[in-house]
Structure 1
Amino acid sequence: MSASRTFLSEQDIERLVKSDNADDRAVATHKVCRLMERSDLSEVERAAAQEIIRLLSDDAAELVRRALSVTLRTSGLLPHDVAMKLAQDVHTVAVPVLSHSPAFSDDDLSEIVRSGGPVRQVAIAKRDTLAEIVTSALADCAVEEAIVIACANDNARFSDTGMTQVLDRFGASEVVHNTLVNRKALPVAVTERLIHMVSQNLRDQLMTRHAILPETALKVADATLERATLDMADQTGASRDPAGLARHLVTSGRMTPSLMLRALARGHMGFFEHALAELSGVPHDRTWLMVHDAGQLGLRAIYDRAGLPARMFQTFRIAVDTYHSLSSEQSDLDPVRFQERLIERFLTQVPFAPREDLIYLYERLDRDSKGQRWEKAMTEKGLTQKAA
């Protein structure tokens, strides 16, 4: 330990080894650990330094052990066995190393989450990065505070199963909902499930606060769910994983013709293709050809095979043609402007579709300010009417 002794005075060593005062030993522990951490130690000196650390971890005074934990919380010098020992110590000693120390393996952290209790779970959740094995343990058994902290960290990697478990356990928590919504990325199934939870809450509020009929509440909730699903598609799902989103919606029974039409009118052609592929059972590459390269008959064939309403085909035909024409004419538009132009052009062509398609479309499309202006214009032309 010659390298360390160069920096330590005889008084430091005496305070560390002989002092009966815990405060003195804690100060000496802090200084000794800092010096060892900063020194360029040989292998022999490193081994000797770690023996000193082991002796310090046996000190009867909590203050000394805490000084050791805090000082070496980010150090690679802390031996694995000492880190595990400190992790089982009182909370003031355990938390610093659990929150920061690189001495723990992912398996270590996972086991501590499962057996260590809420304080240790929260400490581990605060680490800068978390592997899937650790977040899975948190998802399975951690308290809500730890879950929220981990979910708020985009460097905490969750598996789809782990994220689903979070929703299974804390699906009623608005704090968890808000935290998940603000993550950079979520599995498509989890995102759509969140949307469904929000719509369920809206339905419950309508039924309890306003005493409306359950059938009416269901209609409002379903409309909210479709709008939210399309908002999600705009932000993440349709652009990142259109196949996954389409598959999930079909599997869960929530793929509707109106959802497909609104997505198409908002420029999500990839999602529309995958929705047709999922509903028809035709592989996506063949579906793509039928939508884009097979003329008028191709789209009609895949549309019918998907089981979509025959009365809405012309409206879908207009949407596809509008997408193609705008893509060829103004391919340099950014996504937001492209979507705006697409909706505007689509709505100008809709009046040439059959009346029943118009009625359905205006009933189901979002009532945003632009939609209201167009509906008013169509009403003035006598092209819309109240649904029967």
Structure 2
Amino acid sequence: MVAYQRYVQLSQSRNSEERGQAAHMAALAYLGHKGPADEQAALYAALMNFLDDPSVKVRAALAYGLLHSEHAPRPIMLALAQDAPVISRAVVQFSPVLLGSDLMGIIRSGDPDMLVAMTARPALSQRVALALVRQGEPDLCVRVLERADISLPDDDFIALADKWGDDARVRGVLLKRRDLPGIARLHLVERVRAALSDLRIVKGSVQPRRLERLLRDGCDNAATAIGEREAGRGARGYVAAMAEGERINARLMLHALVHGHVLFFADALAQLSGAPRAKVFTILDGGSRAALHALLTRCGFTPAVRNLLARMVGHARKADLADDIAARHYVVSLLIEELIAEHDGVLPPSLDEAFAYLNEQNIALARTAARGVMPAFAAEAPDEIMLPDMSAGRLALPAA
């Protein structure tokens, strides 16, 4: 323990190191004080006096002693928050006595270093977090969004996705957020698609038409997968936004069924038809073909598309399309054969887009299902002769 007389000697020393020791001791003594009130008042006065010390070292020693305490005097901490940068940044980052209103005043000052320090506070209110991300600085957005303990309103997430969709760093942090609204996530996926399609290394590696198909299929899968997740959470805003933007079409509905995203498919039908969700599920699960056609009619689909979707629902009832790739391939192949047979090979124009999608999916699913089949078969029958000897001739396409 240090006697008061010794403390007075240290506090009046010409050596800033000794005055710093005195400031730190006074801070600790104040926080741990359990004696009479007049003694505490004297300690408080001593802390106030150190605010006027000309040495940054002394004021920093005072701040260090009070920095993490919830019982530090607010007037002193507010004064230190306006001190030299090395002191103010530490106070803003760590002091728990600063209120949201205090932090809002600091935000209005616009000091970049102070704002960065604020993003590292142990606890940050939603109000302060929103004020920080609305500053329009990508670095601040990233720092705030990386914190899983801070939640933001859906509208602000959507606004951030719209504003920073082309910034890869902010976009990546937003996509990692589990609480990101589905419609904002889809918007960011579309920005990723645009960015990929503009990359020289991508355009130079993949034939343009195939690249367009791959990116479009990826976006379709993202749209229905996000919709499936949102539907599972009971969120209705995503499918409502999709319908309002007229983004629910036959291709997307087929994609949802082919990939087993039935919750999104049902939510989309409920949104388009205005029917209760429970009734839609009942019809999809075991309703008659007439009931299914009536539901699809209320959704505004053309007769040819209604017939196609009804056929797909019938096949989906008998197969596990969510996880079984072979089942998906089988159902899509069967549907293509049925359409060709039904229309004698001359499909109506209203089915052109859907039929093109089914053909694309048939090829993609066949490729996926075929991977590894022949090596596995050859491993079981290594001595079987499969191919003729081709060493004598050369192969070339006629136009090559």
SS in 1 for 2:364: coil
Q: Distance in 2 between matches of 1:229 and 1:43?
A: 66
- State the partner residue of 1:340: 323
Give 1:218-237 correspondences, 5 Å limit: 221-233=215-227, 236-237=229-230
Q: Distance in 2 between matches of 1:124 and 1:75?
A: 17
- State the partner residue of 1:306: 299
Of 256, 263, 271 in structure 1, the residue corresponding to residue 249 of structure 2 is 256
SS in 1 for 2:69: coil
Shift of 1:278: 2.1
Give 1:5-84 correspondences, 5 Å limit: 7-10=1-4, 13-40=7-34, 49-84=43-78
Q: Distance in 1 between matches of 2:80 and 2:257?
A: 58
Partners of 1:132 and 1:158 within 8 A in 2: yes
Deviates more, 1:167-176 or 1:93-102: 167-176
Q: Distance in 2 between matches of 1:145 and 1:188?
A: 24
- Change beyond 3 A, Cα 1:77–1:312: same
Aligned-residue CA RMSD (Å): 3.6
SS in 1 for 2:323: helix
SS in 1 for 2:68: coil
Partners of 1:273 and 1:284 within 8 A in 2: yes
Q: Distance in 2 between matches of 1:257 and 1:42?
A: 80
Give 1:180-259 correspondences, 5 Å limit: 180-205=174-199, 221-233=215-227, 236-259=229-252
Q: Distance in 1 between matches of 2:358 and 2:15?
A: 81
Deviates more, 1:151-160 or 1:201-210: 201-210
SS in 2 for 1:339: coil
| 2:352 corresponds to 1:355 | no
Question: Which residue identity is paired with 2:370?
Answer: R
Shift of 1:186: 1.0
Instruction: Provide, for residues 239-285 of structure 1, a one-character-per-residue CA deviation record: whole Å limited to 9, x for no partner.
Output: 33552221222223332322222223333322111111222233434
The count of aligned residue pairs is 357
- Change beyond 3 A, Cα 1:350–1:363: closer
Instruction: Provide, for residues 302-338 of structure 1, a one-character-per-residue CA deviation record: whole Å limited to 9, x for no partner.
Output: 22221235434455345544555568xxxxxxxxxx8
Shift of 1:81: 2.4
Instruction: Provide, for residues 162-214 of structure 1, a one-character-per-residue CA deviation record: whole Å limited to 9, x for no partner.
Output: 33343344333211112222223212222112112112212333699659999
Q: Highest Rg: 1 or 2?
A: 2
Deviates more, 1:289-298 or 1:103-112: 289-298
Q: Distance in 1 between matches of 2:323 and 2:274?
A: 32
Partners of 1:99 and 1:124 within 8 A in 2: yes
Partners of 1:56 and 1:64 within 8 A in 2: yes
Instruction: Provide, for residues 118-143 of structure 1, a one-character-per-residue CA deviation record: whole Å limited to 9, x for no partner.
Output: 11111111123322211211121153
Structure 2 gap segments, 5+ residues each:
341-353, 374-400
Partners of 2:67 and 2:95 within 8 A in 1: yes
Structure 1 gap segments, 5+ residues each:
1-6, 328-337, 377-388
| 2:276 corresponds to 1:279 | no
Of 370, 375, 390 in structure 2, the residue corresponding to residue 373 of structure 1 is 370
- State the partner residue of 2:378: none
Deviates more, 1:132-141 or 1:236-245: 236-245
Partners of 2:293 and 2:307 within 8 A in 1: no
Q: Distance in 1 between matches of 2:208 and 2:319?
A: 42
Q: Distance in 2 between matches of 1:58 and 1:132?
A: 35
Partners of 2:81 and 2:87 within 8 A in 1: yes
Question: Which residue identity is paired with 1:355?
Answer: L
- Change beyond 3 A, Cα 1:25–1:210: same
Question: Which residue identity is paired with 1:259?
Answer: L
Partners of 1:135 and 1:162 within 8 A in 2: no
Identity of aligned residues (%): 24
- Change beyond 3 A, Cα 1:359–1:146: closer
**TM-score, length-normalised on structure 1?**
0.77
Q: Distance in 1 between matches of 2:46 and 2:185?
A: 51
Greater fraction helix: 1
- Change beyond 3 A, Cα 1:36–1:81: closer
